[in-house]
Amino acid sequence: YTGEYLDVLNECVPLLDDSSCDDDARVRYQAANRIVLILWDYIKEMIEQVKKDQANGAGSTAKLIQNLTDALADQSAKASLPDRKGKAVPCRKKMKHEKPSDNDVNTEIEKAIAYETGRMALEKTTDISDNGSGGVTYNHDYTGSGYAPQAEKDMNRILNQLAEEQALIHYEEDLEADLQAEATRIRYGNAHKNVHVTVNRISYVNDTLKKSYAFVSPPLLLISKRLQKQVKQILKDKREGGKRNRLLLGRRIDTRNIVHNDGHIFYKMNLPDEEPLLAVALLIDESGSMSSNDRITRAREAAIIIYDFCRNLHIPVIVYGHSSSGKDVDLFSYAEFDSLDGNDAYRIMDMASRGCNRDGAALRYVAERLAPRPEQTKLLILVSDGQPSSSGYRGTEAEADLRGIKREYSRKGITMFAAAIGEDKPNIQRIYGDGFLDITNLNELPTKMTKLISSYIKKAA
């Protein structure tokens, strides 16, 4: 099935994933409310009818629920499923609301008990019941619970899970060491002579980061999903080949398009192309001034959206932050091309405003991470609120260094953009020229930057 109901379901999935096992009931309530809003267009009419029936005394609650279930079944029966030949096959199977058997209920209760442990609320009591026969009996016929085989599986599962977690932590530690070695290898030029670069990456992602991400991410992931729709078909056609129809120019005419009388009568057959299309690097200025007017908050939102956008479209992406103190530069690795533990999205929640900004050293490091990539197009996007400002690195000399870096890596196939979100926009535009992206409205930062990536996807395709 590929119709609109699937898109609606996909909008609900992140909410279910992020809330269903959350200990905070408010998170689950909020997710339920959001799901109702997403489904509202489909259920409003049925709910209104149930209200009317209830007001008119049209039956018991069970009968009303049955009517609502039947209405939902009728709605779903209108959906069409494509068969292997691409024809629409109506879904005629009607959903039934059947009372489960006692065995089914007991099974579900056992499953719930297995997972819903540790949640019994403290109850105020006045006494302890002492009713019973008393005494002690020793049961010589007891042969065990029979749970040993399942206990073995449970223990093996836990041990394997622990081993996997440890392996991923060791991998992340090795990755951090490799990143630091890369930082040492890079030649930063005379402008950054004797500058010490430290690469910081969280090896173990704690539950605090995960819960924070789960709380703020749902609306951001919906933005990402909407933007993905605009380019998903383009990428699919690029990778799988196929027919591009209703083109304004071409050599092959599809006579069925003539009836539209708009000139879009041509089509083109594309061969499958597995060549990597695009790689993206996002570098966030984490200087102290980014704390003003929620700039770092908007930058963090943009990072979450762009990371999710790229990952779901299988576009390689790295996300870095940078700050400096004196001649020491700190780089913060949030997302890496070759990360394995699946926790990079949570690491982005650690993004914060810190010290000064020595943009040149950070740009060189991230550009060097991007340069060896095999993709046709390589984008490096810097999000900043001002000019470079660090110990001995400011003014015209610093600007000249940045212009030189942009020219150097442009020759190596890297396209740089600077998204300016502060008062120094004219200065940033002077530095980056045609690579300047004006973000006057901070609310537009995530969508503008993601649409910039989308435009290069369309060009490359």
- The dihedral through the CA atoms of 59, 52, 70, 40 has a sign that is negative
Residue type, 100: P
Give the least confident one: 51-55, 301-305, 407-411. 51-55
Helices (H), 186-312: 207-240, 295-312
3-state secondary structure of 415: strand
Please state, in angstroms and rounded to a whole number, the distance separating the CA atoms of residues 231 and 229.
Answer: 6
pLDDT of residue 451 exceeding 50, the answer is yes
Q: What pLDDT band is residue 304 in, cutting at 50, 70 and 90? A: very high
Residue 226 lies in a domain: yes
Sequence-ordered list of residues with C-beta below 8 angstroms from that of 265, at least 6 positions apart, any chain = 246, 253, 254, 255, 257, 258
Domain that residue 64 falls in: 4-90
Give the least confident one: 39-53, 172-186, 280-294, 339-353. 172-186
Residue 79 lies in a domain: yes
Q: What pLDDT band is residue 335 in, cutting at 50, 70 and 90? A: very high
Same domain (yes/no): 257, 337: no
Please state, in angstroms and rounded to a whole number, the distance separating the CA atoms of residues 216 and 212.
Answer: 6
Same domain (yes/no): 255, 322: no
Average pLDDT over residues 117-138: 68
Residue 447 lies in a domain: yes
Please tell me the predicted confidence (pLDDT) of residue 60: 60
pLDDT of residue 260 exceeding 90, the answer is no
Same domain (yes/no): 193, 70: no
Residue-by-residue DSSP string for 214-233: HHHHHHHHHHHHHHHHHHHH
Given the structure tokens 């030189």, which residue do they identify?
404
| Cα-based distances in Å from 452 to 328, 376, 391, 444 | 32, 16, 33, 12
Give the pairing type, strands 317-325 and 88-90: unpaired
CB 299 within 8 A of CB 323: no
Which long-range contacts does 267-271 make (Cβ < 8 Å, 24+ apart)?
267/243, 268/243, 268/244, 269/241, 269/242, 269/243, 269/244, 270/237, 270/238, 270/241, 270/242, 270/243, 270/244, 271/241
- From its phi and psi, is residue 194 left (phi > 0), alpha (psi between -120 and 50) or beta? left
Same domain (yes/no): 304, 355: yes
Q: What pLDDT band is residue 338 in, cutting at 50, 70 and 90? A: confident
User: Of 216, 251, 270, at which residue does a domain stop?
Assistant: 270
- The dihedral through the CA atoms of 130, 136, 141, 144 has a sign that is positive
Our separate counts of H helices and E strands in the chain read: 12, 12
Q: What pLDDT band is residue 100 in, cutting at 50, 70 and 90? A: low
User: Of 90, 110, 139, at which residue does a domain stop?
Assistant: 90
Residue 157 lies in a domain: no
User: Of 90, 120, 153, at which residue does a domain stop?
Assistant: 90
- The chain-wide mean pLDDT, for the chain, equals 78
Q: Is-above-0.75 flag for pTM?
A: no
Residues listed for the chain = 461
CATH of the domain at 449: 3.40.50.410
Give the tokens for residue 259. Answer: 């009836």
Please tell me the predicted confidence (pLDDT) of residue 80: 47
pLDDT in tens, 370-403: 999 998 889 999 988 877 888 888 888 888 888 8
Average pLDDT over residues 284-296: 87
Cα dihedral 54, 57, 59, 64, rounded to 10, equals -10
Q: What pLDDT band is residue 351 in, cutting at 50, 70 and 90? A: very high
Same domain (yes/no): 199, 261: no
The angle, 0 to 180 degrees and rounded to 10, between the axes of the packed helices 425-432 and 395-411 is 40
Please tell me the predicted confidence (pLDDT) of residue 352: 92
Please state, in angstroms and rounded to a whole number, the distance separating the CA atoms of residues 283 and 296.
Answer: 12
For 239-253, b where at least 16 C-beta lie within 10 A, e where not — what string? eeeeebeebeeeeee
Which position has the higher pLDDT, 45 or 322? 322
Residue 95 lies in a domain: no
Looking at the chain, the whole-number percentage of residues with pLDDT higher than 90 is 15
Domain count, the chain: 3
Same domain (yes/no): 38, 180: no
Which position has the higher pLDDT, 372 or 448? 372
Please state, in angstroms and rounded to a whole number, the distance separating the CA atoms of residues 165 and 175.
Answer: 15
- The dihedral through the CA atoms of 57, 59, 62, 65 has a sign that is negative
pLDDT in tens, 13-24: 888 888 877 777
Give the tokens for residue 365. Answer: 């490091």
Same domain (yes/no): 38, 183: no
Same domain (yes/no): 199, 62: no
Average pLDDT over residues 125-145: 73
Residue 52 lies in a domain: yes
Give the least confident one: 5-14, 255-264, 335-344. 255-264
pLDDT of residue 349 exceeding 50, the answer is yes
Please tell me the predicted confidence (pLDDT) of residue 96: 46
Same domain (yes/no): 254, 340: no
Same domain (yes/no): 315, 448: yes
End-to-end CA distance of the chain, in Å?
27
Same domain (yes/no): 400, 254: no
Residue 128 lies in a domain: no
CB 263 within 8 A of CB 295: no
Give the least confident one: 100-109, 152-161, 189-198. 100-109
pLDDT in tens, 206-243: 899 999 999 999 988 988 888 888 777 777 766 665 66
- Residue 80: enclosing H or E segment and its boundaries? strand 80-82
Average pLDDT over residues 150-157: 78
Same domain (yes/no): 265, 357: no
pLDDT of residue 445 exceeding 90, the answer is no
Please state, in angstroms and rounded to a whole number, the distance separating the CA atoms of residues 325 and 378.
Answer: 30
Give the tokens for residue 223. Answer: 């933005």
Q: Count other C-beta atoms under 10 Å from residue 189's C-beta.
A: 15
Please tell me the predicted confidence (pLDDT) of residue 203: 86
Average pLDDT over residues 71-80: 59
Residue 116 lies in a domain: no
Residue type, 47: I
Please state, in angstroms and rounded to a whole number, the distance separating the CA atoms of residues 60 and 62.
Answer: 5
Give the pairing type, strands 252-253 and 266-270: antiparallel
Beta-ladder partners of 419: 383, 437
